[in-house]
Chain A
Amino acid sequence: MLELLPPLNDHNLPWMDTIHPIVVHFVIAMALIGYLFDVIGVVWRKPALFEASFWNLLFATGAIFVAIIFGQVEAGLAAPYGAARKILDIHTTIGWSLAGVLSLLAGWRYVIRSRDPEILPLSFLGAGSVVSALIVVQVILGDTLIWTYGLHTVKVVSAMREGLI
């Protein structure tokens, strides 16, 4: 069975480079900027920003599922070591939770927009700030996996294959 899988390169990946960090551009940027647009839209009373943030939130919600698919495959090939194992577990748990949370938030936003696209209740802003904070935590965990533990970097993969870690 195993020989049917594609061969792994020096990043321990079946493709050129990690795809998960590329897909998460669209979750991180769209969700965070959507929240910022909501805040500015409320403060400056600019409903056009609510429209922009609605679409950004909707896109972030779609993108997180793609990010999870690639994240799971690449996590499975990451060979975490030391504390990175635990960090990867928490990153995975928060990642799946965020998919649910973002879906709920987008659903709520759809209802708000359907009723009156020019008004945004403060409770939605409150929820947005909590979700944004959760995303920041998730980014820090993901950052730690690559920038501290070097998962999927050529140097760490070769050390792993030599049995050094």
Chain B
Amino acid sequence: MPLALAYAPSDAPIDQIAKDLGANGLPYSLPIHPNLVHLTIGLFVIAIAFDVVGALYPLEKRVFRFLALPITRGGFHDVGWYNLLACCLITFLTVAAGFYEMLTAVPLPGVKSTFGLGSMTTMLWHGVGGVLLLAVIVGMTVWRGFQRFLWRRDMGRQVQWLYLLVGIVMFALLGLHGTLGAQLAAEFGVHIAADQLLQAGADLHTALP
């Protein structure tokens, strides 16, 4: 692509702010995105899991009676609804923090991931995929809200089987997407101070005592 390169600026844009960044490539000591990811993934998975438990309630009744744990079917669906709602709201911040930290990412050169992808390809998939997953989460939250407050308001099973199926497919997508993110850290060394210092030729005995 000689034409595109001819228009490219001589310096990488990251160089404009490089002097304000620490060894981890961020203006603060620990990245924010991976911490918000705990909330996004935890809340989504448990939301769907509890809706599954609520949907299969007739099968479980006897087990819970044996455990002397008073339960209501509505209680399980409360977890499914509120956790998904919280997930939906928090995930906007997860994606926003992710984009900030991806724009400041400097992956280690010459690395191929376990998936056989380079750093740019991994970041593109993780970035675009993150926005798509957010869209699905928002869509599912709206869908869940319609089921809870309108379509199935008076029914014991508050969710459609299709909704649970889509949720379980999302588990697989979130797992794949999370693995790409984990590779950006553990394999490409993005925003990991020790990896970046080693790449710069520093001695960790003195650089990270």
Question: Could you list which residues of chain A lie within 8 angstroms of chain B, going by C-beta atoms?
Answer: 11, 16-18, 21-22, 24-26, 28-30, 32-33, 36-37, 48-49, 51-52, 55-56, 59, 81-84, 110, 113-114, 117, 139-140, 143-144, 146-150, 152-156, 159, 164-165
B-side contacts of A144, CB under 8 Å: 30
Question: Could you list which residues of chain B lie within 8 angstroms of chain A, going by C-beta atoms?
Answer: 24, 29-31, 34-35, 37-39, 41-43, 45-46, 50, 69-70, 72, 74-76, 78-79, 81-83, 86, 108, 111, 114, 178-179, 182-183, 185-187, 189, 191-195, 198-199, 203-205, 208-209
Q: How many A-B residue pairs have CB under 8 A?
A: 141
Q: How far is the CA of A44 from the CA of B95 in the complex (A)?
A: 29
A-side contacts of B86, CB under 8 Å: 33, 36-37
Q: How far is the CA of A59 from the CA of B86 in the complex (A)?
A: 17
Which of B79, B186, B191, B205 interacts with A56 by CB under 8 Å? B79
Given contacts A32-B39, A143-B35, A155-B189, contact A148 B30 (CB under 8 A): yes
A11 near B186 with CB under 8 A, answer: yes
- Measured CB to CB, the nearest residue on chain B to A49 is B82
Q: A48-B82, A51-B78, A147-B185 are in contact. List 20 more A-B contacts (CB 8 A).
A: A17-B179, A28-B42, A29-B41, A29-B42, A33-B43, A51-B74, A82-B205, A82-B209, A114-B70, A139-B35, A143-B30, A147-B30, A148-B192, A148-B194, A150-B198, A153-B194, A153-B195, A154-B186, A164-B198, A164-B203
Q: Interface SS of chain A: helix, strand, loop or mixed?
A: helix
Q: Interface SS of chain B: helix, strand, loop or mixed?
A: helix
